[in-house]
Amino acid sequence: MELIYCGPETQCEVSDLTPATHYCCRLQAVNQAGAGPYSEQMSFQTPATNPDAVSSFFLLDQLQSDQSPSTCLFLKWEEPNCNGADITSYIISLDDQLITVETGTSHLITDLQPDSQYRYTHTHTHTHTHTHRHTHTHTHTHTDTHTHTHTHTISSPSRRL
Question: Contact 57/122 with Cβ under 8 angstroms?
Answer: yes
| 33 and 68 assigned to the same domain | no
Domain count within the chain: 2
Q: Could you report the per-residue pLDDT of 103-112, keeping only the tens digit for each?
A: 999 998 888 8
Residue 25: which CATH number?
Answer: 2.60.40.10
Counting other chains too, the contacts that 144-148 makes at CB distance below 8 Å and 24 or more residues apart are 147/61, 147/62, 147/69
Q: Is the whole model's pTM more than 0.85, yes or no?
A: no
| 87 and 32 assigned to the same domain | no
Question: Contact 129/50 with Cβ under 8 angstroms?
Answer: yes
pLDDT of residue 154: 36
pLDDT of residue 65: 63
Q: Could you report the per-residue pLDDT of 10-53, keeping only the tens digit for each?
A: 999 999 999 999 999 999 999 999 999 999 999 999 999 988 88
| 65 and 100 assigned to the same domain | yes
Q: Could you report the per-residue pLDDT of 45-104, keeping only the tens digit for each?
A: 999 998 888 888 888 876 666 667 778 888 899 999 999 999 998 888 888 888 999 999
Task: Place 116 in a pLDDT band, splitting at 50, 70 and 90.
Answer: confident
| pLDDT for residue 137 is more than 60 | no
| 3 and 26 assigned to the same domain | yes
**Structural domain that includes position 11:** 1-47
